[in-house]
Structure 1
Amino acid sequence: MSTPLNARDLLDTMLGYLGFVFEIEEQERDGHLVLQIYTHEADRLIGKRDQVMDDLQYLLNRMLQTADPQARRVIVDVEHHRAMRDDALVEKMKHLAEAVKTTGRPIQTEPLNSYDRYVVHNVFKDDPEVATWSPPDDAKVKRITLRLRKKTA
């Protein structure tokens, strides 16, 4: 029987092979394990439009899920960049939701990757007035529609 993969050790190995000098700190955020990376090369590790950071997170989660389909999702962040970006995204979506409430008309977001869609859907999952919807296709980036929640009689 194989030993379960440790997310921190796996990320440490990946970054080591890529030649980065770094420290990893484990944190908890909203029930998820967050691996916070500190490095002097944060820009390289974040990448243009966060692509490197997103790809590392995707690859790490795929490896963990392959080893254990019940493994919990891990968030990879670099010097709190993802957390700050998430906060800005949530504020922007709340602003759009206010416009939906005011006008009664649905609004579509800009194209979002799967992680950002997850964040947005979670913001409104318990909202009594605004619901979210995104098309059920396999596109890597797609828009979310914010609309008024249908009232139940």
Structure 2
Amino acid sequence: MTKVITSGKTVEDAVNQGLAELGVSRDKVEIQVLEQPSKGFLGLIGVKAAKVEVKLLPVPEAVPQRVEPAAHVPQVEAKLEDVAAKNPYEEAAAFLKEVAAGMGLDVEVDIKKQRDGHIFNIAGEDLGMIIGRRGQTLDALQYLTNIVANRYSESFVRIVLDAENFRQRRRKTLEDLAERLAGQAIRSGKEVVLEPMPPLERKVIHAKLQNHPQIKTYSKGEEPNRRVVIMTK
């Protein structure tokens, strides 16, 4: 896959989604804005998401480099050491603590490495403010934390935020919802359309019902109003 077309509430959201799908950093791609977002009438009707094309840049052919005079070498080495001194995960964790402090919270961040990225587990009191309604604040902080981390990394990094085991609890809630609505679709014989969900939550619904003998699912709509539809086969 050399290019993707993605949507988001803002151009930046759409770009970051494209970077995540391609698994590269911003300097490795060419970005073309296909559609600008709009709020629609009174900010309520006709909301239109941003749409962008994110395309991998061609890998340049190796070209012999001219050796610079020795006098410049220490300067280059100093710059490399300065970059190496910035750990993207430590910088991201520091950012999180700073934001939490601004909310009047004292938190600790436990960083755990997994196969497809890193998990930041936030610990402290009154973490409901960090999580927000249905995890919306946590998702927003996760988005910003990934931006901060990738500023200090030459390759794309992915961070998932969690607090009070919210991600696992939310997953269980979504899986129970999927089963309940699948039963409703079977009994009524009609499609069941869920409320808009972010991509990761839609993925949980699809995964839970993908092997159901009587049910199939698909998504419809544009981000951020994309929804899962549950229907009988």
CA contact (8 A) 1:114 1:140 kept: no
Aligned-partner Cα distance in 2 for 1:23–1:78 = 10
Worse overlay, 28-37 or 14-23? 28-37
CA contact (8 A) 1:134 1:145 kept: yes
Identity among equivalent pairs (%): 21
Alignment partner, residue 11 of structure 1: 92
Worse overlay, 59-68 or 109-118? 59-68
- Counterpart residue identity of residue 231, structure 2: R
Report the number of matched residues.
146
Alignment partner, residue 229 of structure 2: 145
Aligned-partner Cα distance in 2 for 1:62–1:122 = 28
* Alignment pair present for 1:50 and 2:161: no
CA contact (8 A) 1:100 1:106 kept: yes
Change (3 A) 1:61 1:123: farther
Deviation, 1:38, is 0.7
Deviation, 1:120, is 1.7
Provide the aligned C-alpha RMSD in A.
3.1
The TM-score, its normalising length taken from structure 1, stands at 0.73
Deviation, 1:109, is 0.9
Worse overlay, 127-136 or 34-43? 127-136
Change (3 A) 1:65 1:95: farther
Change (3 A) 1:16 1:33: closer
Q: Which protein has greater RCO, CA pairs closer than 8 Å, 6+ apart?
A: 1
Q: Which SS does the other structure have where 2:220 is aligned?
A: coil
Aligned-partner Cα distance in 2 for 1:114–1:6 = 25
Which protein is bigger by CA-based radius of gyration? Answer: 2
Q: 1:99 aligns with which of 181, 184, 195?
A: 184
Deviation, 1:62, is 4.1
CA contact (8 A) 1:109 1:145 kept: yes
Alignment of 1:1-153 (within 5 A): 6-7=88-89, 9-18=90-99, 19=101, 20-27=105-112, 33-64=118-149, 67=153, 70-71=156-157, 73-135=158-220, 137=222, 139-149=223-233
Structure 2 residues not aligned, in runs of 5+:
1-79
CA contact (8 A) 1:10 1:60 kept: no
Q: Which SS does the other structure have where 1:95 is aligned?
A: helix
Deviation, 1:40, is 1.2
The TM-score, its normalising length taken from structure 2, stands at 0.51
Q: Which SS does the other structure have where 1:134 is aligned?
A: strand
Change (3 A) 1:125 1:70: farther
Structure 1 residues not aligned, in runs of 5+:
none
Change (3 A) 1:105 1:84: same
